[in-house]
Structure 1
Amino acid sequence: MNHSIYSADRMTHLKVVIVALVAGIFVAGFGISARMNADEGYSQTASARVIKAGQPVAVTTSNASMVR
């Protein structure tokens, strides 16, 4: 058995190309179907509620522990 792609015969190259093509089609199909399902209810429209910034707040203390 030869493990080099350079010295492989024509059928081995064809099998590699076919497997890569099928995998690429599967990944593209999965991405397209996931994208189509993600649009339900999450799209932004012009009639969406606008959130405006309030007054600025200064944070002077923190309860976070310091890690060194």
Structure 2
Amino acid sequence: MNHSIHSADRSTHLKIVVVALVAGIAVAGFGIAARTGTSDGTQTARIIKAGQPTALTSSNTTAVR
């Protein structure tokens, strides 16, 4: 077993590359599968309306000038 990447042989480097490639494909696949959307491919905009405005009449903070 090689404990250093510098002293590793060719097959160890190949194993590292393969594991990284499989992990990258898995993460990309999970990201694509986790998208939310409709089945027909169209997207709709979500509208968020603001609430009533509030007025701040007093504050207990000190002003640094």
Q: What is the TM-score of this pair, normalised by structure 2?
A: 0.62
- Cα distance in 1 for partners of 2:4, 2:16 equals 13
Question: Corresponding residue for 1:30?
Answer: 30
**Aligned counterpart, 1:17:** 17
CA-to-aligned-CA distance 1:8-31 (integer Å, 9 cap, x gap): 000000000000000000000000
What stretches of structure 1 move > 2 A for 4+ residues in a row? Answer: 48-54, 59-62
d(CA) in 2 for partners of 1:24, 1:57: 48
Of all paired residues, the percent bearing the same amino acid is 60
Give the length in aligned residue pairs: 55
Gapped regions of structure 2 (runs ≥ 5): 60-65
Q: CA RMSD in A?
A: 3.0
Partner Cα distance (1:49, 1:19) in 2: 43
Structure 1 segments unaligned to the other structure (5+ residues): 63-68
Aligned position for 1:39: 37
Q: 1:57 aligns with which of 49, 54, 57?
A: 54
Report the CA distance between 1:2 and its aligned residue.
3.0
CA distance in 1, matches of 2:12, 2:54: 66
